[in-house]
Structures are given as structure tokens and as C-alpha cells.
Amino acid sequence: MDFAPYLLPKPAAKPRKNGAAEESQVLLAFARREYDAGRMAGAERLCLQILTRDVRHADALFLLGMTGFKTARYEMAERMMRRAIDLNGRQAPHHFHLGNALQAQGKLDEAAACFERALGIQPEHAEACYNLGNTLLARHQLDKATALYRRALAVKPRYSEAWCNLGAVNRQQGKLDEAVNCFERALSLAPNNANFCCNLGDALHAQGKVEEAVVWYRRALALDPAHYKAANCLCNALFDLGDLAGAVAWSERALAIKPGYGDALMNRCLLQLLKGDYIAGWRNHEVRWQVYPPRLFSQPLWTGAPLKEATILLYAEQGLGDSLQFLRYVPLVQAAGGRVVLELPANLRRLAAGLPGLAALVNFGPPLPRFDCRCPLMSLPLAFGTTVETIPARVPYLAVPEEALRKASALAWPTTGLRVGLAWTGNPSHPKNRSRSIPLGLLEPLFNLDNVQFFSLQMGSAAAELATRRTKITDLAPVTGDMADTAAQMAHLDLVVSIDTSIAHLAGALTRPLWVLLSYLPDWRWLLDREDSPWYPTARLFRQPKPGDWLAVIERVRAALVELAAQKQAAQQ
């Protein structure tokens, strides 16, 4: 509903009577009583009555602004509060509440300035510290937000909201133990707060304490059955516990509570894809732009129509593995008549340069060459109407650059025994990395096999873990610059053993023998209840028999390696 702006009357021409000020104070007291009782219309009427007598009555202007804030008329609230501050700028509450009105309009910079002015007048204003922390949290200034929440708590130790938001900052920074402590402290002060319960569940889930997280999600829903975020979080937790039916049910429950909820829509489409319902899954996968910030282009999205020599921009999104998986569609786009401009991260560009017929291969971001339409790589299955039966699985669809092959050939590869590449963890920022990755120590039973030599294909911080363990594994990270180097190294390996990460996709795209180690309910692309992959013909899938059971997976892999090593040894004799 739109509200007309208030046009305050001009001051009367005649001087006020001696009792006018006293009468205004009486009216203001009644107005405050109406406001405190939640009767905004009455408070507003009395404030306007005061302002009819004295348009410069700062307290009446401020209270009128507060009624606007309480009734979600934030622009009106801002105008009235600014007028009050122009008349009396030394009141910390005036600056604080103006900041609230600005914050409600998304004017975070202006809001932050108001909260800072309030703190300049009243340094121990706990609520101003808290709200200033919130504006900084929204701008991802996490260290500054932390300092302000702690400052608020120093003034007001029982400030449950400040404890909760301090926990949220710790959660974003990966300080999970501290986050759990903060959420528990918030709940000790407000045990019936459903949001606090849900936040504690999130922190416990991130720690891998999924069953404990489920308890708190259910507690949040018992307190607030309409808590759609808790319903969706419960979906995620039940999925990680291997309860596919429960995950589906709570995804639908979240959508029943809040139709159009992006996170729940995303979960529903991923569950559809996991079950092989690609027709619905690809269509619903487009809701990801409600969850991830979309890139803005003036050119239209291509949805599968004949291209007739039009230039199309295909661009990467999400992780390296996603890009590697969907580069298989580039020849299909060309066959549809498109001149392909391909935009990829630098780590993939040298490898993708071997794709035939590209109009251009470019880095992320401007300047881009001219193009007529565009399509993100992960929307290509929808454009082509891909089903499980029609997955374009013609491999290899990537080729290794000659210079990378020469570099890899110069390494001292063993001439006997089984050469196995290994990747045991993925990107630590991936939300499912804990459940898909395997602690290196659990793989020790593989490293003492006769006639098997392992080569680490890990990059980044995970590769450094090798230096802290006495493992029989050769680290290839020091001689690896990009994915083209990794691809060339795979040409010298008999087998790649990998968790669900980009290494698996690279090996599959190159038609290298591949064993993928999967959690009980894995990422959607590996489907359910099968040991092969329609995406990668050379892949063999080793699935957990129950949630979290990596030991059973490793035992099966060990037995298979013994058999494969014996076959190679026999062939070499």
C-alpha cells in the first residue's frame, strides 16, 4: 500500500499562547502512551496535532517518524527523523532510529553513518553497536562486525541477538566451535527462539554432527511450524544421513510453507536429477539464479533453437568439475550452427584450447568479443533436452596439449607396477566437501600394497598434507601448473582413483580408467544404485554401503587394486 506524504502545516502567524508549550507536552505524553500500546494511528494523530501548533517540535517529529517505521513507511520515517535531527542533533536515539529506517530501505552506508553518530554521542549504546555490526556483516566486513558485537555484549552481556550474530560471523569464518558456543549462549538466554535453534543446527551440521543438527532443526520447527529455512535445512541434513525420502518430504514442506523459496527449489531439482528425472530436473535447475548471483547480459539466453551461424557465448559457472563435465556440449552447439566463444577460468584454458572450431577462447570478465546470444555451460543439458539415455557420452572430448605431454614425459615414471593417481579431497569451500572427502589417514591400507605406486593429483592446501605423513605416494603438485599438466600426467597412469571432484571429471573426459569413491547419497551426477556412469564410460563407482562408511569403500578398492596389480604384473612377465 502506498501512503501519501505528510504535508506538515506552517507555523501559525499569531504567537503561541503561554500555555501552548505545556499543552504540547501533555499531547506528547498521550502520543507516547498510544505508541507504547501499539496504537500507531492514535499516536500519529496526536503528533500531527502538536505539529499543527509547532512545526518545529523535534520530539513530535521524531515520534511521528517512529510511527512511520512501525507501520513500514520507511521513507516517511526517514523524512520525519531527519527533520527532528536538524532541530536537535544531540539525541543518540534519533540517530539510531534513523539508521534503522535507512537500513530497512537497504541504504546500508547511510545507516552505518547514523549508527556511528549515535555511538559518538552515547558510546555504550549496545543496540547501535549491534545494528552497526549488522550493516558491516551485510557488507562482509566480518572482523569489524565481530568487534562491534563483542562491544555490544560488553555493555549488555545478556543480549541474545548479539550472541546469535556473533555466532553467524564465526560460522562464516569457519570458526565452528566458537559459532556453536555463541548459538548455545543465545539459546540459554532465549530458549524458545526458533531462529537460534536453526542457526545452532547449521553450525553442528557444518561440524559433521548431522544427527545433533537434526534435533535442533526439529526443535525450531516445533517452535515455529512455518520456519521454512529450518524445513529446508532438515532436508539437507536428512540427505546427508542417507534418508532420501525424508529429504524429499522436507524439501516439499519448505516449498509448501514458502512457495518460490530458492534454496528449497534448488534442493528439489537436485533430488530430481539424482533420481534420474532429467526432464523436470534440468528445467527446475534454472532456479539456481535465485540462489547464486546471475551474470547480467543484454544478449538473450539461448534455449536450443537453430543458431544459423550466430555467435554464442558459452561460459563457466560454479566449480571446475562442472565446467569439465559440460564442455562435452561444445560440439553439439557448433552442430546447431553456433560460432562458439568460450569463457573459462585460467586453470582450464590451455586444456580447452584443443577443442576444434572455437571462434574464441577468453578469460572471465570484460572485455568480451561480440556475440549474439549466450548460455551458461550448465544450462546446455536443458537446451538439448538431455535425458539419462541421451547423455552425450562420446569420449574423449578433451585433448592434452603437446607441450604438457612433453613436460609430463620428462618425469621419472616407474617402469613396473601399477601407477595410480589419487585425489582424496575437494575444494574446502564446497558445502558438501566434508561428506564427499576422505581423510588421508583412512587411505593408509592402500599404500602398503605390493606392485602399486600412488601419485598425488591434489593441488592446494590438501597437497601439503603429504609432508606431514609418512606415505608411499609421490606428490605431483610441484610440477603441476594447471589442469593441462594434470591431464598429461594422467596419460602416464594406469588408473585414477578419486572422490567426487574435478580430478574425476578430468579423467572421465580423457577416457582414462577411473574409480570414483562416493558417499552414500552422492552429488546428483552420479545417480543412484549403479556402479557405472552414463556420463563417463570408463568410470567405476564405489559407493558407501551406509552413510559415512568409508572403511567399507576402501576395503573394496584395496581388493580391486590387488586384482588389477596382479593382472598388470602378469601382462608384463
Q: Write out pLDDT tens, residues 490-549.
A: 999 999 999 999 999 999 999 999 999 999 999 999 999 999 999 999 999 999 999 999
Helix, strand, coil percent content, the chain, rounded in steps of 5: 55, 10, 35
pLDDT band at 471; cut points 50, 70, 90: confident
- Give the helix/strand (H/E) hosting 422: strand 418-423
Closest residue by Cα to residue 418 from 573, 540, 554, 562: 562
Q: Note the pLDDT tens digit of each residue in 361-383.
A: 998 878 899 999 999 999 999 99
CA distance 36 to 47: 14
215 DSSP 8-state letter: H
Least confident of 10-24, 48-62, 128-142, 483-497: 10-24
Among 522, 499, 502, smallest CA distance to 321 is for 502
Provide the β-strand partners of residue 474.
Answer: 455
pLDDT at residue 292, rounded to an integer: 84
Structure-derived torsion over alpha carbons of residues 313, 318, 320, 321, reported in degrees to the nearest 10? -110
pLDDT, tens only, 192-221: 999 999 999 999 999 989 999 999 999 999
Buried/exposed code over 221-243 (b: 16+ C-beta within 10 A; e: otherwise): bebbeebbbbbbbbbbbbbbbbb
For residue 11, the model assigns a pLDDT of 35
Instruction: Say yes or no to pLDDT of 64 above 80.
Output: yes
If we measure between CA atoms, which residue out of 427, 401, 412 comes closest to residue 483? 401
The answer to whether 434 and 210 have CB atoms below 8 angstroms apart is: no
What distance in Å separates the CA atoms of residue 74 and residue 104, rounded to the nearest whole number? 7
pLDDT of residue 19: 66
Share of the chain above pLDDT 70, in %: 97
CA distances from 139 to 133, 134, 145, 474, 510 (A): 10, 9, 9, 43, 42
Give bridge partners of residue 360 from the DSSP assignment. 341
Mean pLDDT of 129-133: 94
pLDDT at 161 over 60: yes
Please name the residue that has the C-alpha cell 549515535. Answer: 118
3-state secondary structure of 498: strand
pLDDT value at residue 13: 36
Q: What percent of the chain has pLDDT over 90?
A: 83
Residue ranges of domains in the chain, CATH in brackets = 171-293 (1.25.40.10), 311-390 (3.40.50), 411-572 (3.40.50.2000)
The pLDDT of 8-18, averaged and rounded, is 39
pLDDT at residue 7 is higher than 80 = no
pLDDT tops 80 at residue 468: no
**Across the chain, what does the average pLDDT equal?**
92
Q: Compute the average pLDDT of residues 454-476.
A: 85
- Are 438 and 513 a contacting pair, CB within 8 Å? no
For residue 345, the model assigns a pLDDT of 93
Could you read off the pLDDT of 249-297 as tens digits, one per residue? Answer: 999 999 999 999 999 999 999 999 999 999 999 999 999 998 888 889 9
SS3 category, 190: coil
In the numeric block, which cell numbers belong to residue 470? 609418512
* Residue 2 pLDDT greater than 90, yes or no: no
- pLDDT at residue 430 tops 90: no
Query: What's the confidence (pLDDT) of residue 183?
Result: 98
Would you mind telling me the total number of residues written for the chain in this entry?
573
In the predicted model, is pLDDT for residue 163 greater than 80? yes
